[in-house]
Structure 1
């Protein structure tokens, strides 16, 4: 199993709550759509980062497929327009 963790700092702090809610809705909706994506939890940070994603995937191959899954690419591209920074950590467990 792979854990995929992403932390974002959002650029517009006035829109952070609304953007975090939209990120949560869109990313969590990929469960059941993206092959190999077992779970996804998105939360609004109150210390450190603004938004965090913790996703579980079946394998490294599933992670690679998820990264290229068209609905996920669309979401990533939108997040890229609202995020100031992004940190990722992937590991096997």
Structure 2
């Protein structure tokens, strides 16, 4: 099992929307992939409530059976459409993938 975790810091404003609005948009769009992307075995999104400067604004926790499935997800057209928007509103991104 592969765990794929991503954290984003969002721009204060982007695409005519606030950070909070963009976080909600990204969350909703990524959650919409459940049941549409076969390789995606689990997905959980979280919008940060921690006020620390070290905190990121949004996180994704997702699960895949194997690396090949994660690789397929990365190039899935539904995922890539969301990535286009995310790139416009994000100022920083961190990712970790690990095997359990």
TM-score range, shorter chain: over 0.9
Q: How far, CA to CA, are the matches of 2:44 and 2:38 in structure 1? A: 17
Distance in 1, Cα, partners of 2:12 & 2:86 = 12
User: How large is the RMSD of aligned CA atoms in angstroms?
Assistant: 1.2
Aligned length: 93
Partner-residue secondary structure (3-state), 1:56 = strand
User: Larger helix proportion, structure 1 or 2?
Assistant: 1
User: What are the superposed Cα offsets for residues 38-85 of structure 1, whole Å, 9 maximum, x if unpaired?
Assistant: 111111112300000001111111100000000100101110000000
Structure 1 contact 20–43 (Cα < 8 Å) conserved: no
Larger of the two Rg values belongs to structure:
2
Q: TM-score, normalised to structure 2's length?
A: 0.87
Listed as ranges, the gaps of 5+ residues in structure 1 are none
TM score, norm. by length of structure 1? 0.93
Q: Which runs of 4+ in 1 moved over 6 A?
A: none
Structure 2: gaps spanning 5 or more residues: none
